[in-house]
Structures are given as structure tokens and as C-alpha cells.
Amino acid sequence: MLRSALRGPLRGRVRGAATCRAAYSAAAAAPAAPPATDDQIASLVSAFQESRRLVVLTGAGCSTESGVPDYRSPQGAYSTGFKPMTHQQFLASPANRARYWARSFYGWPRFSRTQPNEAHFALAELEQRCWVSGLVTQNVDRLHSRAGSREVLELHGTSHEVICLDCGARSPRQAVQEALAALNPAAAAHVAELAARPPDAAAERLQALRVGTSRDDLRVATRTPPSTPGGFGAARSLGQAAGQPPQRPDGDVELVDAGSGFRVAPCGGCGGLLKPDVVFFGDNIPQERKDRAMALAASSDTLLVVGSSVMVYSAYRLVEVAKAAGARLLIVNVGPTRADKLADVKVEARAGEVLTRLARHPELQLPKLR
């Protein structure tokens, strides 16, 4: 009864929009793994019960079951040689920024509609029952908040907000999407045409399993008239992808000649450069955010890592800080991690399966006594 009362309000708001396309993409994006054993679940439950302050660190593997690919698994973006744009490349030239925003423009509609999965909901429930004291995520998809988690620190920022690099003003990503659509009507029409196509489950699954190869690239529609080579009509006639091109971990997609003829929206206040409020590769995490994450890790007596290889130092440093403070380290991740040698418990299984079993476990159903 208690479980139903807690889960219902969190899930009802976001489940209605799920589609077969999302289900197929999620199945392909999530790495294959056998279920956790009963003994492994029991070890995690015991660690939860013994902890006074448990902090969670999540990575891309927490969102793969929502259809968002990770970077380092066999199905991940790096498996096809994908290299995300660095902070330095973004700043280097208008052409690079046009390329980035063109890819983001095509990827945003699907990325913004991505739904939380069982892992996100389970963590929100465990937080409600006071078994989780804080959550640090490396993900930029904001799915933890959408699932109902309240104490969320977005270590690398979020794709749902945009910042002006000149005046510092922030704006919703959707508002920038609308500005880009007004500046690039042919591309906007092309995106709308792609979205209107009926889902092809088999094609979507095959495309997701390939993660993204050269034959999946989609030619971008520029602002030129439909009758002009390279315009919307030409882009539509190419038919290089049966539907939307493969999504990348941060929400962009692969496009042929991305940025060619694509107009980038300036800051509405000062006319400056707009950039997603995301820490790109080669950029630095804001000091205040870094300090908050370090304080959370240092204050924990148990750190649960979910769906992260902790290969980037910003994440691994939190593991080091927690262990130095005497915390127990629990890892739920498919594949090796940088912190495996430090782990007290390591479970190689899907995040959704493991966390759901924890949230449903009789010992964790009632709120924790403080």
C-alpha cells in the first residue's frame, strides 16, 4: 500500500507519452547483462540499512534504458568513433558553433521528450523514504528531476538550459529551439516532417543497435528554398535515414554537412554567444558546483555509483574523497570501472533492474528511521 502511494504520483505524470519507438531504442541502447543475484541484492540492502548517509553518483548507464546511449559500452557512442565537440572547438569558429547547433536542433525534439526509466523512479522512491541523502549525476538529461528526485546536483550541467557566454544570462533550451526554427525555416520543416513519420519499430531497433554509422547520417536542411539544391526538398529526397538519425548521449545527432547554411541564434539580451549550460570536454566544472559535490561525497558513509565507469576525473575524484572519509563504495555498472579496486560491493547488472529490486525490497519499503 505504501509502495503504491509513493510510486503513483511520480510515475503518472510522465508515462503516458511512452511509444514503441522509445521502447525499441531503449532496449538497444542499454548494454546486455544478466540479472543480479539474490545475494548481490541482499548485500546492497544490508549496506543501505547500515548507512546513515548514503549518496548516489550516476552516469550515462542510468539513462540507457530510457534510450539515451552511453559513451563506453559496446553499444556506446565511442564504439563508432564518435567524438563530441570540445569546449575549445566550440569557441574556435562560427562554423563549429553552426555545426553544433544544427546537430542539436535536429536532436532536441526527441531528447527533450525522453522519459525517466525504472532506475530514475526507484532512486526517487528511495530518496522519498530517506534511504538516499543526496544524488550527484554526470548526466545532462534532467531525468532524475523528472522522475521526482529532489536532492539532485547536476555535475556537468544540463542540456535543458542555455547560457550566454558574454552576459551570463540563462534561458530555457526550448526557447532557443524556437529561435533557431525561426532562423532556419527549412530545417524546422524537415524536423517536423521527420517527427510526423509513423514509427517503424524494426528500423528504429536496427538503427539503434548500429548506434550510428556513416549510412545513418542525415543531411541537414538549410534555410534555402525547397527548389534550391541543398534546401529542404533536396534534404527530404535523400532519404538517408528511415526516421530520426541516431541520438547521441548529450542529445545531438549525426548530420552530413552539419552547419552548412545553418543560422545560429544570438543571445536575446546582448547578442552574445549562446552555449548549452553543459560542461563540454575540455571545459571546467564551476567551482561552486565542484565544491558542493565534494562536500556531498565527503559527508557520506556510503557512496553508490550507478551506471558510471567513473573514467573522467571529476567523477573519480568524488570516489576518492568518499573513500578517504571512510565511506563504503557500492558500484552497479555493466562493465569495468576505474574504481573497481576500491569497491566494497560490485554488481554487474542493469541499473533499472537492480534499483527496482532495491526499491521493492521489504526491508527498504518503509521510510528509514533517522
334 is in an annotated binding site: yes
**Distance between CA 192 and CA 180 in Å, rounded?**
13
**Same domain, yes or no: 139 and 252:** no
CA 58 from chain center: how many Å? 10
Inform me whether the pLDDT recorded for 1 exceeds 50: no
**Same domain, yes or no: 90 and 193:** yes
In a domain, 332, yes or no: yes
**Same domain, yes or no: 147 and 170:** no
Query: DSSP class of residue 240?
Result: -
- Taking residues 280-295, report their average pLDDT: 95
Count of CB atoms within 10 A of residue 29's CB? 26
**Same domain, yes or no: 46 and 90:** no
**Same domain, yes or no: 199 and 175:** yes
167 is in an annotated binding site: yes
In a domain, 76, yes or no: no
In a domain, 103, yes or no: yes
139 is in an annotated binding site: yes
Count of CB atoms within 10 A of residue 240's CB? 14
Question: What is the per-residue pLDDT across 153-184, written as a single tens digit (0 to 9) for each?
Answer: 999 999 999 999 999 999 999 999 999 999 99
Count of CB atoms within 10 A of residue 225's CB? 11
Q: Which of 97-106, 222-231, 289-298, 351-360 has the weakest average pLDDT?
A: 222-231
208 is in an annotated binding site: no
List, as own/partner pairs, every contact residues 315-319 make where C-beta atoms lie below 8 angstroms and the sequence separation is at least 24, other chains included.
315/57, 315/59, 315/138, 315/155, 318/57, 318/136, 318/293, 318/294, 319/57
The chain-wide mean pLDDT, for the chain, equals: 81
Q: Among 222, 243, 278, which residue terminates a domain?
A: 278
**Same domain, yes or no: 274 and 173:** yes
In a domain, 21, yes or no: yes
Residue type, 339: A
The three cell numbers of residue 249 are: 548521449
267 is in an annotated binding site: yes
**Same domain, yes or no: 8 and 146:** yes
Q: What is the pLDDT of residue 369?
A: 83
The three cell numbers of residue 368 are: 528509514
Give pTM, 2 decimals: 0.82
Q: Among 242, 260, 278, which residue terminates a domain?
A: 278
Q: What amino acid positions are annotated as catalytic residues? A: 156
In a domain, 322, yes or no: yes
Task: Scan for cell 532556419, then name that residue.
Answer: 184
Q: Exposed, middle or buried by CB within 10 Å (0-12, 13-18, 19+), for 112?
A: middle
Domain of 294? 2-68+116-156+286-365
**Rg for the chain, CA atoms, rounded:** 21
Question: What is the per-residue pLDDT across 50-93, written as a single tens digit (0 to 9) for each?
Answer: 999 999 999 999 999 998 875 555 554 444 555 678 999 999 99
pLDDT band at 219, cuts 50/70/90? low
270 is in an annotated binding site: yes
Helix (H, G, I), strand (E, B) or coil at 345: strand
**Same domain, yes or no: 240 and 353:** no
Inform me whether the pLDDT recorded for 200 exceeds 80: no
Q: Do 69 and 29 form a contact (C-beta atoms < 8 A)?
A: yes
In a domain, 292, yes or no: yes
In a domain, 74, yes or no: no
For residues 113 and 243, which has the higher predicted lDDT (pLDDT)? 113
In a domain, 75, yes or no: no
**Same domain, yes or no: 15 and 130:** yes
- Provide the CATH number for the domain around residue 143: 3.40.50.1220
**Same domain, yes or no: 99 and 195:** yes
Q: In total, how many domains does the chain have?
A: 2
Inform me whether the pLDDT recorded for 281 exceeds 80: yes
**Same domain, yes or no: 120 and 106:** no
56 is in an annotated binding site: no
Q: Which of 118, 151, 111 is nearest to 278 (CA)?
A: 111
Q: Among 248, 278, 308, which residue terminates a domain?
A: 278
**Same domain, yes or no: 11 and 148:** yes
